[in-house]
Amino acid sequence: MSPRYDRVAIAFHWLMAVMITASFAVGLYMVSLTMSPTRIKLYNWHKWAGVTILTLAALRLLWRLRHAPPPLPPTMPQWQTKVANVAHLLLYVLFFAVPLTGWAYSSAAGFPIVWFGWIPLPDFVPKDRELAEFLKPWHWMAAYALAAVVAVHILAVVKHLLMDDDNLMSRMLPNMTGDK
Amino acid sequence: MELVQAPIRKILAATGVLMLLTLPSLASAQQRLVPAQSEIAFVSKQFGVPVSGKFKKFDAEVTFDPKKVEAAKVNFNVDLLSADIGNSETEAELKKPGWFNSLKMPQANFTSNAVRALGGGKFEFSGKLSIKGITQNVVVPMTLTQSAGVTRAVGSFTLKRLDFKIGDGEWNDVSLVANEVVVNIKLALTGVTPL
Protein backbone atom coordinates (compact mmCIF):
# COMPACT_ATOMS: atom_id res chain seq x y z
CA MET A 1 0.00 0.00 0.00
CA SER A 2 1.28 3.48 -0.95
CA PRO A 3 2.16 5.96 1.82
CA ARG A 4 -0.79 7.90 3.13
CA TYR A 5 -1.45 11.48 4.14
CA ASP A 6 -1.60 11.86 7.90
CA ARG A 7 -4.93 12.07 9.67
CA VAL A 8 -4.81 15.82 10.23
CA ALA A 9 -4.06 16.47 6.55
CA ILE A 10 -6.96 14.19 5.60
CA ALA A 11 -9.30 16.02 7.99
CA PHE A 12 -8.26 19.41 6.56
CA HIS A 13 -8.74 18.15 3.01
CA TRP A 14 -12.28 16.87 3.42
CA LEU A 15 -13.47 19.62 5.70
CA MET A 16 -12.28 22.25 3.25
CA ALA A 17 -13.61 20.28 0.27
CA VAL A 18 -17.10 20.33 1.78
CA MET A 19 -16.93 23.96 2.89
CA ILE A 20 -15.53 25.26 -0.39
CA THR A 21 -18.12 23.36 -2.44
CA ALA A 22 -20.94 24.63 -0.23
CA SER A 23 -19.65 28.23 -0.26
CA PHE A 24 -19.25 28.19 -4.02
CA ALA A 25 -22.79 26.87 -4.46
CA VAL A 26 -24.25 29.39 -2.00
CA GLY A 27 -22.24 32.15 -3.69
CA LEU A 28 -23.62 31.29 -7.12
CA TYR A 29 -27.16 31.10 -5.77
CA MET A 30 -27.15 34.21 -3.59
CA VAL A 31 -26.02 36.57 -6.35
CA SER A 32 -29.01 35.48 -8.43
CA LEU A 33 -31.46 36.63 -5.74
CA THR A 34 -33.07 40.04 -5.52
CA MET A 35 -32.76 41.86 -2.20
CA SER A 36 -34.54 39.96 0.55
CA PRO A 37 -33.93 38.81 4.12
CA THR A 38 -32.95 35.38 2.76
CA ARG A 39 -30.36 36.98 0.52
CA ILE A 40 -28.84 38.87 3.45
CA LYS A 41 -28.66 35.69 5.51
CA LEU A 42 -27.01 33.78 2.67
CA TYR A 43 -24.46 36.57 2.12
CA ASN A 44 -23.56 36.51 5.79
CA TRP A 45 -23.31 32.72 5.95
CA HIS A 46 -21.17 32.82 2.81
CA LYS A 47 -18.86 35.35 4.48
CA TRP A 48 -18.65 33.35 7.71
CA ALA A 49 -17.82 30.23 5.71
CA GLY A 50 -15.23 32.18 3.71
CA VAL A 51 -13.43 33.40 6.83
CA THR A 52 -13.58 29.87 8.25
CA ILE A 53 -12.04 28.53 5.03
CA LEU A 54 -9.35 31.21 5.23
CA THR A 55 -8.55 30.16 8.80
CA LEU A 56 -8.47 26.48 7.85
CA ALA A 57 -6.22 27.34 4.89
CA ALA A 58 -3.74 29.07 7.18
CA LEU A 59 -3.71 26.17 9.66
CA ARG A 60 -3.49 23.66 6.83
CA LEU A 61 -0.56 25.48 5.26
CA LEU A 62 1.28 25.52 8.60
CA TRP A 63 0.59 21.81 9.04
CA ARG A 64 1.74 21.01 5.54
CA LEU A 65 4.99 22.96 5.94
CA ARG A 66 5.86 20.74 8.91
CA HIS A 67 4.42 17.49 7.55
CA ALA A 68 5.57 16.69 4.03
CA PRO A 69 2.93 14.95 1.92
CA PRO A 70 3.69 11.40 0.81
CA PRO A 71 5.63 11.34 -2.47
CA LEU A 72 3.80 10.71 -5.72
CA PRO A 73 4.25 7.23 -7.23
CA PRO A 74 7.57 6.94 -9.14
CA THR A 75 5.61 5.36 -11.97
CA MET A 76 4.09 8.78 -12.80
CA PRO A 77 5.64 10.58 -15.79
CA GLN A 78 7.61 13.64 -14.77
CA TRP A 79 5.29 16.09 -16.56
CA GLN A 80 2.32 14.74 -14.61
CA THR A 81 4.18 15.14 -11.32
CA LYS A 82 4.93 18.72 -12.33
CA VAL A 83 1.33 19.42 -13.25
CA ALA A 84 0.19 17.91 -9.95
CA ASN A 85 2.61 20.09 -7.98
CA VAL A 86 1.59 23.25 -9.83
CA ALA A 87 -2.10 22.40 -9.33
CA HIS A 88 -1.59 21.87 -5.59
CA LEU A 89 0.33 25.14 -5.33
CA LEU A 90 -2.49 26.93 -7.18
CA LEU A 91 -5.07 25.38 -4.83
CA TYR A 92 -3.22 26.75 -1.81
CA VAL A 93 -2.83 30.20 -3.40
CA LEU A 94 -6.56 30.27 -4.18
CA PHE A 95 -7.54 29.02 -0.71
CA PHE A 96 -6.26 32.42 0.41
CA ALA A 97 -7.04 34.56 -2.63
CA VAL A 98 -10.75 33.73 -2.81
CA PRO A 99 -11.67 34.57 0.80
CA LEU A 100 -9.33 37.55 0.96
CA THR A 101 -10.77 39.18 -2.17
CA GLY A 102 -14.26 38.48 -0.81
CA TRP A 103 -13.41 40.00 2.55
CA ALA A 104 -11.89 43.08 0.89
CA TYR A 105 -14.91 43.45 -1.38
CA SER A 106 -17.27 43.21 1.58
CA SER A 107 -15.35 45.88 3.49
CA ALA A 108 -15.15 48.19 0.48
CA ALA A 109 -18.90 47.80 -0.09
CA GLY A 110 -19.51 49.02 3.47
CA PHE A 111 -20.32 45.68 5.07
CA PRO A 112 -17.62 44.77 7.57
CA ILE A 113 -17.60 41.07 8.41
CA VAL A 114 -18.79 39.97 11.82
CA TRP A 115 -17.72 36.33 12.01
CA PHE A 116 -20.68 34.15 13.02
CA GLY A 117 -22.43 37.41 13.90
CA TRP A 118 -20.12 37.49 16.89
CA ILE A 119 -16.51 38.50 16.14
CA PRO A 120 -16.12 41.81 14.28
CA LEU A 121 -13.24 41.52 11.83
CA PRO A 122 -11.13 44.50 10.84
CA ASP A 123 -11.47 46.12 7.45
CA PHE A 124 -8.14 46.00 5.69
CA VAL A 125 -9.45 48.20 2.88
CA PRO A 126 -11.54 51.35 3.30
CA LYS A 127 -15.22 51.67 2.47
CA ASP A 128 -15.02 52.92 -1.08
CA ARG A 129 -17.56 52.54 -3.86
CA GLU A 130 -15.02 52.45 -6.69
CA LEU A 131 -12.73 50.05 -4.88
CA ALA A 132 -15.71 47.74 -4.28
CA GLU A 133 -16.55 47.74 -7.98
CA PHE A 134 -12.90 47.00 -8.75
CA LEU A 135 -12.65 44.13 -6.27
CA LYS A 136 -15.93 42.40 -7.11
CA PRO A 137 -14.75 40.76 -10.37
CA TRP A 138 -11.51 39.66 -8.68
CA HIS A 139 -13.46 37.67 -6.11
CA TRP A 140 -15.47 36.11 -8.93
CA MET A 141 -12.43 35.31 -11.01
CA ALA A 142 -10.55 33.84 -8.07
CA ALA A 143 -13.58 31.68 -7.18
CA TYR A 144 -13.96 30.42 -10.76
CA ALA A 145 -10.21 29.79 -10.97
CA LEU A 146 -10.47 27.71 -7.79
CA ALA A 147 -13.42 25.81 -9.26
CA ALA A 148 -11.38 25.17 -12.42
CA VAL A 149 -8.34 23.85 -10.52
CA VAL A 150 -10.62 21.69 -8.35
CA ALA A 151 -12.12 20.30 -11.58
CA VAL A 152 -8.61 19.44 -12.84
CA HIS A 153 -7.87 17.89 -9.43
CA ILE A 154 -10.99 15.70 -9.62
CA LEU A 155 -10.29 14.72 -13.24
CA ALA A 156 -6.80 13.64 -12.16
CA VAL A 157 -8.33 11.53 -9.38
CA VAL A 158 -10.63 9.88 -11.93
CA LYS A 159 -7.72 9.33 -14.30
CA HIS A 160 -5.65 7.65 -11.56
CA LEU A 161 -8.66 5.56 -10.56
CA LEU A 162 -9.70 4.40 -14.00
CA MET A 163 -6.62 4.63 -16.23
CA ASP A 164 -3.61 4.25 -13.93
CA ASP A 165 -5.29 1.92 -11.48
CA ASP A 166 -2.74 3.02 -8.83
CA ASN A 167 -5.27 3.60 -6.06
CA LEU A 168 -3.74 7.03 -5.46
CA MET A 169 -6.97 8.36 -3.95
CA SER A 170 -6.74 6.00 -0.99
CA ARG A 171 -3.89 8.18 0.34
CA MET A 172 -6.43 10.89 1.10
CA LEU A 173 -9.34 8.72 2.21
CA PRO A 174 -10.10 8.34 5.90
CA ASN A 175 -8.79 4.98 7.10
CA MET A 176 -12.05 3.11 7.62
CA THR A 177 -10.43 -0.25 8.35
CA GLY A 178 -8.63 1.04 11.42
CA ASP A 179 -5.24 -0.18 10.05
CA LYS A 180 -2.24 1.96 10.76
CA MET B 1 -39.48 122.59 -4.91
CA GLU B 2 -41.02 122.36 -1.49
CA LEU B 3 -43.88 120.38 -2.92
CA VAL B 4 -41.39 117.84 -4.17
CA GLN B 5 -39.16 117.82 -1.11
CA ALA B 6 -41.89 117.21 1.39
CA PRO B 7 -42.78 113.72 0.16
CA ILE B 8 -39.10 112.82 -0.08
CA ARG B 9 -38.56 113.89 3.53
CA LYS B 10 -41.55 111.79 4.51
CA ILE B 11 -40.20 108.80 2.66
CA LEU B 12 -36.78 109.22 4.25
CA ALA B 13 -38.34 109.52 7.67
CA ALA B 14 -40.51 106.48 7.07
CA THR B 15 -37.49 104.49 5.88
CA GLY B 16 -35.62 105.48 9.01
CA VAL B 17 -38.46 104.26 11.19
CA LEU B 18 -38.64 101.02 9.23
CA MET B 19 -34.91 100.47 9.65
CA LEU B 20 -35.20 101.04 13.36
CA LEU B 21 -38.06 98.58 13.50
CA THR B 22 -36.12 95.93 11.61
CA LEU B 23 -32.89 96.39 13.54
CA PRO B 24 -33.91 94.45 16.64
CA SER B 25 -35.07 91.55 14.49
CA LEU B 26 -31.83 91.66 12.51
CA ALA B 27 -29.89 91.43 15.75
CA SER B 28 -31.75 88.25 16.67
CA ALA B 29 -31.73 86.97 13.10
CA GLN B 30 -31.75 83.24 12.60
CA GLN B 31 -28.53 81.38 13.05
CA ARG B 32 -27.22 79.71 9.95
CA LEU B 33 -26.36 76.09 9.39
CA VAL B 34 -23.23 75.44 7.33
CA PRO B 35 -24.19 72.19 5.58
CA ALA B 36 -20.71 71.65 4.12
CA GLN B 37 -19.28 71.41 7.62
CA SER B 38 -22.18 69.43 9.03
CA GLU B 39 -23.00 65.75 8.93
CA ILE B 40 -26.06 63.61 9.53
CA ALA B 41 -24.92 60.00 9.73
CA PHE B 42 -26.57 56.79 10.85
CA VAL B 43 -25.60 53.28 11.81
CA SER B 44 -27.88 50.30 11.74
CA LYS B 45 -27.07 46.67 12.37
CA GLN B 46 -27.71 44.01 9.81
CA PHE B 47 -27.18 40.49 11.16
CA GLY B 48 -24.82 42.04 13.71
CA VAL B 49 -22.93 43.94 11.02
CA PRO B 50 -22.78 47.71 11.51
CA VAL B 51 -23.90 49.35 8.27
CA SER B 52 -23.32 53.07 8.20
CA GLY B 53 -24.43 55.83 5.94
CA LYS B 54 -25.06 59.53 5.79
CA PHE B 55 -27.40 62.02 4.24
CA LYS B 56 -25.78 64.32 1.74
CA LYS B 57 -28.60 66.89 1.61
CA PHE B 58 -30.20 68.56 4.58
CA ASP B 59 -30.93 72.03 5.79
CA ALA B 60 -32.25 73.77 8.84
CA GLU B 61 -33.80 76.95 10.09
CA VAL B 62 -32.33 77.64 13.46
CA THR B 63 -33.18 80.31 15.97
CA PHE B 64 -30.97 79.69 18.92
CA ASP B 65 -29.60 81.88 21.66
CA PRO B 66 -27.82 79.85 24.35
CA LYS B 67 -29.00 82.36 26.94
CA LYS B 68 -32.63 82.24 25.84
CA VAL B 69 -33.33 78.63 25.05
CA GLU B 70 -37.03 79.01 25.73
CA ALA B 71 -37.22 81.01 22.49
CA ALA B 72 -35.12 78.51 20.51
CA LYS B 73 -36.59 76.93 17.45
CA VAL B 74 -35.11 74.30 15.17
CA ASN B 75 -36.71 73.15 11.98
CA PHE B 76 -34.57 70.54 10.32
CA ASN B 77 -35.15 68.91 6.95
CA VAL B 78 -33.30 65.90 5.63
CA ASP B 79 -33.55 64.71 2.04
CA LEU B 80 -33.96 60.94 2.42
CA LEU B 81 -33.13 60.42 -1.26
CA SER B 82 -29.65 61.69 -0.53
CA ALA B 83 -28.84 58.69 1.71
CA ASP B 84 -25.31 57.49 0.93
CA ILE B 85 -24.56 53.98 2.17
CA GLY B 86 -21.60 53.42 -0.13
CA ASN B 87 -23.45 50.68 -1.96
CA SER B 88 -25.80 51.32 -4.87
CA GLU B 89 -27.79 48.13 -4.35
CA THR B 90 -28.65 48.99 -0.76
CA GLU B 91 -29.40 52.60 -1.68
CA ALA B 92 -31.86 51.47 -4.35
CA GLU B 93 -33.48 49.18 -1.78
CA LEU B 94 -33.73 52.02 0.75
CA LYS B 95 -35.85 54.11 -1.62
CA LYS B 96 -38.52 51.42 -1.85
CA PRO B 97 -41.91 51.79 -0.12
CA GLY B 98 -40.99 49.22 2.55
CA TRP B 99 -38.03 51.33 3.68
CA PHE B 100 -37.93 55.13 3.29
CA ASN B 101 -40.46 55.34 0.47
CA SER B 102 -38.34 58.33 -0.39
CA LEU B 103 -39.43 58.64 -4.01
CA LYS B 104 -42.87 59.52 -2.66
CA MET B 105 -41.90 61.11 0.67
CA PRO B 106 -38.37 62.39 0.33
CA GLN B 107 -38.37 64.65 3.40
CA ALA B 108 -37.69 63.81 7.00
CA ASN B 109 -38.35 66.66 9.39
CA PHE B 110 -37.46 67.50 12.94
CA THR B 111 -39.25 70.40 14.58
CA SER B 112 -38.23 71.32 18.09
CA ASN B 113 -40.84 72.18 20.68
CA ALA B 114 -38.63 72.58 23.74
CA VAL B 115 -34.95 73.17 24.35
CA ARG B 116 -33.34 72.69 27.75
CA ALA B 117 -29.95 74.00 28.78
CA LEU B 118 -28.13 71.41 30.90
CA GLY B 119 -25.02 73.50 31.49
CA GLY B 120 -21.49 73.05 30.24
CA GLY B 121 -22.52 73.58 26.63
CA LYS B 122 -24.99 70.71 26.80
CA PHE B 123 -28.50 71.16 25.51
CA GLU B 124 -31.45 68.90 25.02
CA PHE B 125 -33.63 69.42 21.97
CA SER B 126 -37.05 67.83 22.28
CA GLY B 127 -39.31 67.78 19.30
CA LYS B 128 -41.18 65.88 16.68
CA LEU B 129 -39.46 63.74 14.12
CA SER B 130 -41.46 62.91 11.01
CA ILE B 131 -40.45 60.22 8.57
CA LYS B 132 -42.75 58.54 6.04
CA GLY B 133 -45.67 60.55 7.35
CA ILE B 134 -45.25 59.18 10.86
CA THR B 135 -44.42 61.56 13.67
CA GLN B 136 -42.72 60.55 16.91
CA ASN B 137 -41.34 62.49 19.85
CA VAL B 138 -37.58 62.44 20.12
CA VAL B 139 -35.05 64.00 22.43
CA VAL B 140 -31.71 64.90 20.92
CA PRO B 141 -28.88 65.77 23.31
CA MET B 142 -26.27 68.05 21.79
CA THR B 143 -22.99 69.41 23.04
CA LEU B 144 -21.94 72.78 21.76
CA THR B 145 -18.49 74.27 21.41
CA GLN B 146 -17.49 77.56 19.87
CA SER B 147 -14.42 78.78 18.12
CA ALA B 148 -13.67 81.43 15.50
CA GLY B 149 -17.30 82.43 15.18
CA VAL B 150 -18.45 78.91 14.42
CA THR B 151 -20.57 76.91 16.82
CA ARG B 152 -20.22 73.17 16.54
CA ALA B 153 -22.96 70.96 17.86
CA VAL B 154 -22.38 67.24 18.27
CA GLY B 155 -24.90 64.73 19.42
CA SER B 156 -26.64 61.48 18.75
CA PHE B 157 -29.88 59.75 19.45
CA THR B 158 -31.35 56.34 18.81
CA LEU B 159 -34.57 55.82 16.98
CA LYS B 160 -36.53 52.65 16.47
CA ARG B 161 -36.99 52.14 12.75
CA LEU B 162 -40.24 50.20 13.15
CA ASP B 163 -41.81 53.20 14.94
CA PHE B 164 -41.61 54.88 11.54
CA LYS B 165 -42.40 51.72 9.54
CA ILE B 166 -38.89 51.80 8.09
CA GLY B 167 -38.25 48.26 6.90
CA ASP B 168 -41.85 47.21 7.02
CA GLY B 169 -43.25 43.85 5.94
CA GLU B 170 -40.70 41.15 5.18
CA TRP B 171 -37.96 43.26 6.81
CA ASN B 172 -39.63 43.66 10.21
CA ASP B 173 -37.51 40.86 11.71
CA VAL B 174 -35.29 42.81 14.11
CA SER B 175 -32.91 39.88 14.53
CA LEU B 176 -31.95 40.46 10.90
CA VAL B 177 -32.04 44.27 10.78
CA ALA B 178 -31.91 45.73 14.28
CA ASN B 179 -34.74 48.02 15.33
CA GLU B 180 -32.33 50.55 16.80
CA VAL B 181 -30.74 53.03 14.43
CA VAL B 182 -28.17 55.41 15.87
CA VAL B 183 -28.24 58.86 14.32
CA ASN B 184 -25.04 60.85 14.71
CA ILE B 185 -25.27 64.58 14.21
CA LYS B 186 -22.49 67.10 13.71
CA LEU B 187 -23.56 70.62 12.92
CA ALA B 188 -21.72 73.82 12.23
CA LEU B 189 -23.65 77.01 12.87
CA THR B 190 -22.78 80.64 12.41
CA GLY B 191 -24.35 83.61 14.18
CA VAL B 192 -24.82 81.97 17.57
CA THR B 193 -24.13 84.29 20.49
CA PRO B 194 -21.46 83.14 22.97
CA LEU B 195 -22.34 80.24 25.26
For A30-52, how does the pLDDT look when each residue is reduced to its tens digit (9 = 90+)? 999 999 999 999 999 999 999 99
Cα(B159)–Cα(B162) distance, integer angstroms: 9
Please report the sign of the dihedral spanned by the C-alpha atoms of residue A76, residue A82, residue A85, residue A88: negative
Residue A165 has pLDDT above 90, yes or no: no
Chain B contacts of A128, Cβ < 8 Å? 86
Looking at residue A175, its pLDDT comes to 76
Contact with chain B for residue A109, Cβ under 8 A: yes
Cα(A93)–Cα(A100) distance, integer angstroms: 11
Gap from B151 CA to chain A (nearest CA, Å): 30
Helix or strand or coil: residue A53? helix
Give the angle B112-B114-B118 at the CA atoms, nearest 5°: 120
- Best A41, A111, A121, A123 residue to mutate vs chain B (most B CBs within 10 Å): A111
How far lies B54's CA from each of A22, A126, B124, in Å?
36, 16, 22
Looking at residue A91, its pLDDT comes to 98
Residue B25 has pLDDT above 50, yes or no: no
Chain B contacts of A41, Cβ < 8 Å? 47, 176
Helix axes A37-66, A7-30, angle to 10 degrees: 150
Give the angle B182-B188-B193 at the CA atoms, nearest 5°: 125
Chain A contacts of B89, Cβ < 8 Å? 35
Assess contact for B134 and B163: CB atoms under 8 A. yes
Write the Ramachandran bin of B133: left for phi over 0, alpha for psi from -120 to 50, otherwise beta: left
Contact with chain B for residue A138, Cβ under 8 A: no
Residues 6+ apart with CB under 8 A from B33: B59, B60, B62, B187, B188, B189
Q: Which residue of B has its CA nearest to A132?
A: B87
Which comes out higher in pLDDT, residue B14 or A35? Answer: A35
Point out the least confidently predicted range of A32-41, A109-118, B19-28, B44-53.
Answer: B19-28
How far lies B171's CA from each of A38, A177, B93, in Å?
10, 52, 11
Residue B16 has pLDDT above 90, yes or no: no
Cβ distance of B86 and A41 shorter than 8 Å: no
Average pLDDT over residues B51-80: 95
Residues forming a β-bridge with B180: B160
Q: Give the nearest partner residue to B49 out of A35, A114, A132, using CB atoms.
A: A114
Residue B7 has pLDDT above 70, yes or no: no
Interface of A with B in 12-41 (CB under 8 A): 35-37, 40-41
Gap from B47 CA to chain A (nearest CA, Å): 6
Residues 6+ apart with CB under 8 A from B40: B54, B55, B58, B78, B183, B184, B185
Looking at residue B26, its pLDDT comes to 45
Which comes out higher in pLDDT, residue A180 or B53? Answer: B53
Gap from B49 CA to chain A (nearest CA, Å): 6
Cα(B128)–Cα(B163) distance, integer angstroms: 13
Residue B28 has pLDDT above 70, yes or no: no
Chain B contacts of A121, Cβ < 8 Å? none
Cα(A12)–Cα(A59) distance, integer angstroms: 9
Residue B24 has pLDDT above 90, yes or no: no
β A119-120/A114-115 pair status: antiparallel
Mean pLDDT of chain B: 89
Cβ distance of B86 and A35 shorter than 8 Å: no
Looking at residue B1, its pLDDT comes to 46
Which comes out higher in pLDDT, residue A22 or B4? Answer: A22
Q: Give the nearest partner residue to B173 out of A37, A44, A120, using CB atoms.
A: A37
Looking at residue B23, its pLDDT comes to 47
This prediction's pTM: 0.86
Helix or strand or coil: residue B48? coil
Which comes out higher in pLDDT, residue B187 or A180? Answer: B187
What is the distance of C-alpha A109 from the center of its chain? 23
Residue B145 has pLDDT above 90, yes or no: yes
Q: What is the pLDDT of residues A73-109, one digit of tens each?
A: 888 999 999 999 999 999 999 999 999 999 999 999 9
Q: Of all residues in chain A, what percent carry a pLDDT higher than 70? A: 96
- Best B45, B49, B93, B174 residue to mutate vs chain A (most A CBs within 10 Å): B49
Burial (Cβ within 10 Å: 0-12, 13-18, ≥19) of residue B9: exposed
Interface of A with B in 35-94 (CB under 8 A): 35-37, 40-41, 44
